[in-house]
Structure 1
Amino acid sequence: MSTTELTWFKSSYSSGSGDDCVEVAACPSTVHVRDSKNPTGPQLALDPAAWTEFLSRLA
């Protein structure tokens, strides 16, 4: 599946004003992360365990 076919969602950690938004798209084996202001720019692709570890360190 290409990243253009993914369903992207704004992260709940993003600000509500529309600035500084992070979007995520989850697949069974990968969690994709991108900057909503630059959707064709660089993206992270993490396995679900790494994504869970990342989120646990935000709290």
Structure 2
Amino acid sequence: MNTPEPQRLWRKSTYSGGVENNCVEISVLDGRIGVRDSKAPAAGHLTLTRRDFADFLAHLRP
């Protein structure tokens, strides 16, 4: 018997919305951080270590 994968909690960026409705969502996935496009969740996601995610965010900040 296969147990269905639990529903993961994806959180939308607080900067999302606006006119273009460009949205990024993140989720904790087995100790790593998942990043996906909220308009195309079935297209998959990037998986980053917590350190790589922190570096990614630092790079995005002005």
Partner Cα separation in structure 2 for residue 56 and residue 30 of structure 1: 17
Count, aligned residues: 57
| Corresponding residue number in structure 2 for 1:52 | 54
| Corresponding residue number in structure 2 for 1:33 | 35
Partner Cα separation in structure 2 for residue 18 and residue 26 of structure 1: 26
CA deviation vs aligned residue, 1:1-59 (integer Å, no higher than 9, x gap): x5x63100001232345710000002452000000000100310000000000000111
The answer for unaligned runs of 5 or more in structure 2 is none
Using the size of structure 1 for normalisation, the TM-score is: 0.78
The answer for unaligned runs of 5 or more in structure 1 is none
Stretches of 4+ moved more than 6 A in 1?
none
Radius of gyration: which is bigger? 2
Partner Cα separation in structure 2 for residue 37 and residue 55 of structure 1: 21
Using the size of structure 2 for normalisation, the TM-score is: 0.75
Identity of aligned residues (%): 35
Aligned with 2:41: secondary structure?
A: coil
Partner Cα separation in structure 2 for residue 18 and residue 36 of structure 1: 13
